[in-house]
Amino acid sequence: GNSVTQMEGPVTLSEEAFLTINCTYTATGYPSLFWYVQYPGEGLQLLLKATKADDKGSNKGFEATYRKETTSFHLEKGSVQVSDSAVYFCALSDRPRGGSEKLVFGKGTKLTVNP
Amino acid sequence: DAGVIQSPRHEVTEMGQEVTLRCKPISGHNSLFWYRQTMMRGLELLIYFNNNVPIDDSGMPEDRFSAKMPNASFSTLKIQPSEPRDSAVYFCASSLGASGGVTDTQYFGPGTRLTVL
């Protein structure tokens, strides 16, 4: 089946630093790609998504571009804030043979931003 | 809207006991998902419903787990009997799911942290 690999954390940055969290995927067909964020003590929230190759998803200063040639969907932000401290999950849509469509999540990357 | 509501937020029980987790999806949403999150396995989809009908339960670990959705505003996940390895955070999520697929934006509840002693 399809799968997602994202960089292991934790990642610790200073405020205003540049952020990259790598995500690569293995898929047959053309899945949709997602980044979800989980703040401490809360459920996951959709951060951004892209549904086809070369699409760029963006939200709250975060961006990710669907790169079919490198099977990647790296998350970036030019200047992080303390409030961005959270766990970030890369995910893709998967439809196994004979099965129904579902989201497959990576293991998550914990980001801590220090003042 | 209040968002997805889950109860209880925390549950501590002893091995062998029955555990029931509850979820109220966002009003008007047609799809409902149950996930389990652990350090070892990450976030796993257990089961999902569309229009109250179970669509895919292939992620349900074993017969000890069962889920129901008697109406559009309520779902339960039951574990009977519970075991220590069931300790995890269980999330419920809902989406508009107009097409019955899962790529509509999913809105997660705050989760239930289950500890089985």
Average pLDDT over residues A77-102: 85
The answer to whether B113 and B10 have CB atoms below 8 angstroms apart is yes
Strand partners, A24: A5, A72
**Contact with chain B for residue A8, Cβ under 8 A:** no
B81 preceded by a cis bond (ω within 30 of 0): yes
Sorting pLDDT into bands at 50, 70 and 90, what band is A102? confident
Count other Cβ atoms within 10 Å, centred on residue B84: 10
The string of pLDDT tens digits covering residues B23-78 is 999 999 988 999 999 988 889 999 999 889 998 898 898 899 999 999 999 999 99
Q: Which residues of B touch A49 (CB under 8 A)?
A: 105
Q: Is A83 helix (H, G, I), strand (E, B) or coil?
A: helix
**Contact with chain B for residue A93, Cβ under 8 A:** yes
Average pLDDT over residues B7-13: 96
Q: Has residue A1 got a pLDDT over 60?
A: yes
Q: Which residues of B touch A108 (CB under 8 A)?
A: 42-43
∠ CA A32-B47-A38, rounded to 5° = 60
CA of B28 vs chain A CAs: smallest distance (Å): 19
Q: Which pLDDT value is given to residue A84?
A: 97
The string of pLDDT tens digits covering residues B67-104 is 999 999 999 999 999 999 999 999 999 988 755 555 67
Q: Which pLDDT value is given to residue B18?
A: 97
Q: Which residues of B touch A89 (CB under 8 A)?
A: 43
Q: Which pLDDT value is given to residue A96?
A: 63
Q: Is B85 helix (H, G, I), strand (E, B) or coil?
A: helix
Tokens of A2: 């399809």
The b-or-e profile of A69-92 (16+ CB within 10 A means b, else e) is eeebbbbebeebeeebbbbbbbbb
- Nearest by CB to B109, which of A41, A43, A100? A43
Q: Is B86 helix (H, G, I), strand (E, B) or coil?
A: helix
Q: Which residues of B touch A41 (CB under 8 A)?
A: 110
Task: Give the integer Cα–Cα distance in Å for B53 and B21.
Answer: 18
Sheet holding A75-77, edge to edge: A19-21, A75-77, A62-65, A56-59
Is A107 in contact with B42 (Cβ distance < 8 A)? yes
Is B55 in contact with A89 (Cβ distance < 8 A)? no
Q: Is A28 helix (H, G, I), strand (E, B) or coil?
A: coil
Interface test with A, best of B6, B24, B43, B113 (most A CBs within 10 A): B43
